[in-house]
Amino acid sequence: MGQHLSVVSMNDTPTNLQDHEKLAQAALGEAAWAYFSGGAADEITLQNNTRAWQDMGLAPRVLQDLKGGHTQVQLLGRPWPTPLLVAPMTHQRWAHADGEAGMALAAAAQGCGMVLSHQTSTPLQTVAELVRGEAERGPLWFQLYWQADHGALRALVAQIEAAGYEAIVLTVDAPVQGVRDRERRLGPSLPLPEHVRAVHWQAQPPRDSSGLCAGHANAAPTWDDVARLQSWTRLPVLLKGVTHPLDAAQAVRLNLSGLIVSNHGGRTLDTQPASAQLLPPVVDAVQGDAAVLLDGGIRRGTDVFKALALGADAVLVGRPCLHGLAHAGARGAAHVLRLLRDELEMAMTLCGCRTPQDITLAHLHWPSRS
Ligand SMILES: Cc1cc2nc3c(=O)[nH]c(=O)nc-3n(C[C@H](O)[C@H](O)[C@H](O)COP(=O)(O)O)c2cc1C
């Protein structure tokens, strides 16, 4: 997070997300830190993600009427208090005993949404029961990876629906894990503590070891599988990890409800551009026919503002939420989201935007356009 000013104060109250990151590093063991913070290979994409937001200038408008302003947005046909969601992230009980339950409570308390990972270490029903009734919460979605055992996957979809999740997010950019050097140095398998396991994850059946990536790629999802998933559920389906405009256009043809423009936080294919750069062509391809969300490198309220200016309907925040959780449980995650929310309101006010709908490309200052 290079250029942000960060000084953790005497009483250790974090002032910004970089302070939270430092406190998380101090709280986590070496292995957990490597797992939660690492990216793929040389971590070029990981760095691109944060740098792109920092390099993008703002173009504030002055003397606008800001009375009655708010941060509400419409997503999948419903109004929500903020354009912020916690990104799906594995094994949160490894970061802190509060785990996914604490993360969901934190998100709900701040009017933010939560996407629960398929590799959650807390049962999906527990998480949903905790927040379903919260009037001021954001959306509650479930993220799936495609799995070879369709019967088990379909049964999981039924559980997701019954528990009250409002959408399914199919992650399509990680048919195999990236080359994560920091993690590979830890050894052949992740040194998860005994109390942490992915409670809804099906052990994979023995694979045919021929083909790409020693057979792993044989089980990679295709567009047919996307249609199959749609036929199993009445819930809206979004795809996470779409970055190519041609894929975005195909998703619209299949009536997908939304896309999440993401390079998986730089954890899969290194040297992809920043998600900030990947967003505009996808927005153009979708032409308003599906929701478009983004994640990657969001560390400031101004980053959220810029993503909305580029056409995102909302953003997901990954590692910073884990950092808050890691050193202070649900309270820490809530503080991270509160900081982002407050900073977004500040950015909107200073740029002359009363609501997120007022934020446009004209509020960005592009060196190439000036
Ligand atoms: C520790 C960790 C675990 C993750 N687990 C998942 C996952 O289970 N499913 C998924 O779709 N994305 C997963 N992601 C990617 C995030 O959802 C998100 O795309 C990324 O973290 C956004 O970038 P940011 O961390 O810079 O905000 C994970 C990311 C991290 C850091």
User: Is the pLDDT score of 366 beyond 80?
Assistant: no
By mean pLDDT, which of 61-65, 139-143, 181-185 is the weakest? 181-185
Section 81-86 average pLDDT: 98
pLDDT at res. 219: 81
Ligand 1 geometric centre to CA of 110 (Å): 20
Mean pLDDT of the chain: 94
Catalytic residue among 20, 91, 264, 363: 264
User: Is the pLDDT score of 84 beyond 90?
Assistant: yes
pLDDT at res. 43: 97
* CB 264 less than 6 A from any atom of ligand 1: yes
Contact 61, 293 (CB under 8 A): no
Q: φ, ψ for residue 150 (rounded to 5)?
A: -65, -35
The two three-digit tokens of residue 272, written as one number: 């992809």
Q: How far apart are CA 280 and CA 284, in angstroms?
A: 6
Is 264 noted as a catalytic residue in this protein?
A: yes
Ligand 1 geometric centre to CA of 88 (Å): 6
Ligand 1 atom, smallest distance to 319 CA? 25
Residue located nearest, by CA, to atom 30 of ligand 1: 89
- Half-sphere exposure in the Cβ direction for 43 (13 Å, CA): 13
Ligand 1 geometric centre to CA of 36 (Å): 9
* CB 267 less than 6 A from any atom of ligand 1: yes
Ligand 1 atom, smallest distance to 169 CA? 11
User: Is the pLDDT score of 110 beyond 70?
Assistant: yes
Residue in 264, 268, 336 to alter for ligand 1 test, most ligand atoms within 8 A of Cβ: 264
Ligand 1 atom, smallest distance to 36 CA? 1
Question: Could you tell me the pTM of the whole model?
Answer: 0.96
The two three-digit tokens of residue 153, written as one number: 């996957």
User: Is the pLDDT score of 3 beyond 60?
Assistant: no
Q: Residues 246-267: pLDDT tens digits?
A: 999 999 999 999 999 999 999 9
For tokens 């250029």, name the residue. 3
The two three-digit tokens of residue 17, written as one number: 């997300």
Q: How far apart are CA 257 and CA 238, in angstroms?
A: 6
Q: φ, ψ for residue 140 (rounded to 5)?
A: -120, 110
Q: φ, ψ for residue 216 (rounded to 5)?
A: -60, -40
Helices (H) and strands (E) in the chain, counts: 13, 12
Section 22-50 average pLDDT: 96
User: Is the pLDDT score of 368 beyond 70?
Assistant: no
Ligand 1 atom, smallest distance to 297 CA? 26
Residue located nearest, by CA, to atom 4 of ligand 1: 89
